[in-house]
Amino acid sequence: MAHPRATAPILRQACRLQPSAPRRNINTSLFYITNSQRAAPRALTSSTVTAQQTSSLRHHSTTSSPSSPLSSSSSVSPEEVAHFNALASSWWDPYGPSRLLHQMNPLRHDFIRECIRDGVPSTAPSHNIQDLLPRTYLDIGCGGGIFAESAARLPTTASVTAIDPSAEVLSVAQAHARQDPVVFERLQYRQASIEDLAAEAAASEAKTGQPTLYDMVTLFEVIEHVATDPGAFLDRCGRLLRPGGWLVMSTMARTMTSWLTTIVAAEDVLGIVPRGTHDWNKYLNADELEAFFAPGAPASKTAVWQNARFQGVVYVPALGWKVVPGGEKLGNYFFAIQKADTSR
């Protein structure tokens, strides 16, 4: 099997940014949202993140479709939607408030390739890594489309469905996608929630016996922002994944290090992330996240999960994002888990 680095030139092309205006200084204070509840972290216990927290949801997680109002069971927070509506126009500015997401994107693809390569049984025939890459993606909480566009550009991709709660951010995403005919043909944006898609899949299965399922479901920088129980949210995400597919995400551990780096330093001191973006109390430690897929957990009721993987990453000023072994115990990290194919 070819090493995943063999596809690096293709991914560099997929992750490319469209030509943009010359670099300029961004006054990120224009995007700040006051949060009177900002405080130092509480004691680190598994009960810190509760199933009923309903505060901040960011640009990512899901939203209800325009035809249906938000309900108490929705994973969407209107306050967070408003927060990221304000950032919509700057989404594709590589030096703007979303610049850390642009810089992280190549590492997302690296992590996905490594998961797919290492998830192939040793007894399986040798394959080129490109033959194993997903053909269909569901990107939940897509924002302006940084990952969704790059996935659509891959030659192995047939289609990408990307959902987000923010109408304004999606408008920017759609306008940007039109600049690339390949992306525009393969990528569909929807203002919809995970609840909407789960309901549609159930209706499709009842009518045709075949729900709409995807080879890969991604939620980058999403889970720590949902307004409902993370376990129930992940269960809905998993139901949209085909057997053998991967659920891939990124989030942050709830540690003193992450509070200092992602909130105090990134938001309050350096201003490289708009203030009010994160709620430290909703960060998830690696063991908490993996527990959502353990036997008896919500996501295990309809599926068997295997091959859980973690990869810690850290942002180094002037150098960008770097992989740090064991970093999932400190701050930012990727997580992936495979839905077992029990039909074999």
Distance from the Cα of residue 28 to its chain's centroid = 23
Helix ranges restricted to H, the chain: 8-14, 78-85, 99-119, 129-132, 146-153, 167-177, 181-186, 194-208, 230-239, 256-258, 286-291
24 in a labelled binding site? no
Residues 243 and 341: beta-carbon distance below 8 Å: yes
229 in a labelled binding site? no
Other C-beta atoms closer than 10 Å to the C-beta of 344 total 6
96 in a labelled binding site? no
Phi, psi at 322, each rounded to 5°: -130, 140
225 in a labelled binding site? yes
267 in a labelled binding site? no
Phi, psi at 192, each rounded to 5°: -150, 165
93 in a labelled binding site? no
79 in a labelled binding site? no
Beta-strand pair 241-252/187-190: unpaired
* Residues 6 or more apart whose Cβ sits within 8 Å of residue 202: 211
Residues belonging to the binding site are 108, 141, 164, 220-221, 224-225
Residues belonging to the binding site for Mg(2+) are 221, 224-225
Residues belonging to the binding site for S-adenosyl-L-methionine are 108, 141, 164, 220
